[in-house]
A and B are shown apart, each in its own frame.
Chain A
Amino acid sequence: MRNLIGFLIKIAPLLLFIFFETIAVVMMVQRSTYHNYVITSSANVMAGGVYEATNSVTSYFSLDTDNEQLAIENSNLKNEIETLKAMIVDSLDSIKSDPLISYIPAKVIGGSVNKLDNYLTLNKGTDDGVRPDMGVVCGEGVVGIVVTASEHFCTVLPIINSESKISCRLDSSKSLCSLIWHGFSPSYAHLEEVPRHIVVTKGEKVYTSGFSYIFPEGVPVGTVDDVELKESDSFYKIKVKLNTSFYTISYVNVVNFSRIDELKQLNTGVKVNGQGH
């Protein structure tokens, strides 16, 4: 008995070590579950507060490029308004005043680009109408999907996360495919599920498909950078240069579909054999 107690005292540090490591491994295994997002996500009040304080200083350093981007986006939007105005005048009677999509402007206040599972933190939360599963876009293109939202902050799973999967469409063939990310570089991602009978060319544009109700149709994603097709493969290996530069990302828009609840309700009955997001 005495020997046993002596033995236990001797290996007590090892037991505590195993206990702590088990907790860590459980956290890693459950990293995708909702609870883990809530516990360790940077949307929680403490991390959000510190990130916002830091951002209030560091945001000054990127004012120049931010302004330039905003100016470009502004002019593009103005041009679009003009063309749309012309179209509306033509068909005024058939237009109903109930826009399906509205945008919630937000600012990136924290995040990473150099990990395998990157996240972004935005300064808008449920009080501003942000909810999980909403898409996030910026002037350059697609950013990611909201995973959790607290009252004033939310966490976004960007394209450059190994768990991200976004439904896309190739410009020329209109073929559907999934955008995924393997790590390595935050400027490149890969397209999956493009069958070999489709013609894919370098430099071709990739857009969101608008399937599911997360992103509107036709948001630019990137351009095809490299196409690879071995004799034995039935699917292409396509490398895509992403439009969004995650190194400098700052101002984004959260996509709010006004009829999302109706669509979700409709889909709970029918399990859609969909393509991820």
Chain B
Amino acid sequence: MDKVIRYIVLFVALFLIQVVVLCNIDYFGFICPYVYILFFLALPIGFNIYGAMGLAFLMGLLIDIFGNTPGVHIASTVLLAFVRDYWIDIALPNNDIGKVEPSLAKLGISNFLRYAVPLVLAHHLILFFAESWSFVDAWFATLKAIANAIVTMLFIVSYYLLKEK
């Protein structure tokens, strides 16, 4: 029960931080970290996939409403929640840790990066291609996705480092 409340608080907090603070960050005209996806990375291993996708849809819809980006964040976040379930089996094959939170402390830095980086990158690629809604500026969308994924990862790693202290 305690755990459920903690996840609800994390959901609301990440959403508010995203729309009130992070969406206003704008380095070099296109860098804006999308740290709200931390919630889906932090869901326990083995968490119900329907639940994860439902929450992803809700979070995506909320971010879309506040950012005037219909469908863009829904598409990318639902994809993240869907792929994550299968990615865990591939990236962390010998996990006998059961329903544990895949945090930086529990997985160790190399396992955590192997788990998180491809998911964040996949999310950002879908996000920026959906936003430009064409493959005309494909190189620019890819560049944006990679640059933003690096920044998002920095935020996520620093969140875990601060949390441990």
Q: Which of B71, B75, B85, B137 has the most CB of A within 10 A?
A: B71
Known: A13-B82, A21-B75, A25-B75. A31 touches B70 (CB 8 A): yes
Contact-size category for B: 35 or more
B70 touches A27 (CB 8 A): yes
In the docked arrangement, what's the CA distance between A117 and B57, Å? 21
Residue A249 at the B interface, CB < 8 A?
A: no
A114 touches B78 (CB 8 A): no
B26 touches A24 (CB 8 A): no
A20 touches B53 (CB 8 A): yes
Q: Nearest chain A CB to B146's CB is how many angstroms away?
A: 16
B65 touches A28 (CB 8 A): no
Residue A236 at the B interface, CB < 8 A?
A: no
Residue A207 at the B interface, CB < 8 A?
A: no
Picked from A20, A46, A119, the residue with its CB within 8 Å of the CB of B68 is A119
Residue B158 at the A interface, CB < 8 A?
A: no
B78 touches A54 (CB 8 A): no
Q: Which of A36, A112, A184 has the most CB of B within 10 A?
A: A112
Q: Among B89-97, B115-123, B126-134, which stretch is in contact with chain A?
A: B126-134
Residue B101 at the A interface, CB < 8 A?
A: no
A247 — which chain B residues lie within 8 A by C-beta? 26
A27 touches B71 (CB 8 A): yes
Chain A interface, number of residues (Cβ within 8 angstroms): 40
Residue B72 at the A interface, CB < 8 A?
A: yes
Picked from A20, A40, A114, the residue with its CB within 8 Å of the CB of B64 is A40
In the docked arrangement, what's the CA distance between A118 and B75, Å? 19
A116 touches B71 (CB 8 A): no
| Nearest residue, chain A, Cβ from B57 | A20
* Residue ranges of A at the interface with B (Cβ–Cβ < 8 Å): 12-14, 16-17, 20-21, 23-28, 30-31, 36, 39-42, 44, 46-47, 50-51, 54, 112-119, 155, 183-186, 247
* Residue ranges of B at the interface with A (Cβ–Cβ < 8 Å): 19-20, 23, 26, 29-32, 49-50, 53, 56-57, 60, 64-72, 74-75, 78-79, 82, 85, 130-133, 137, 140
Closest 3 CB pairs of A and B: A27-B71, A24-B75, A28-B71
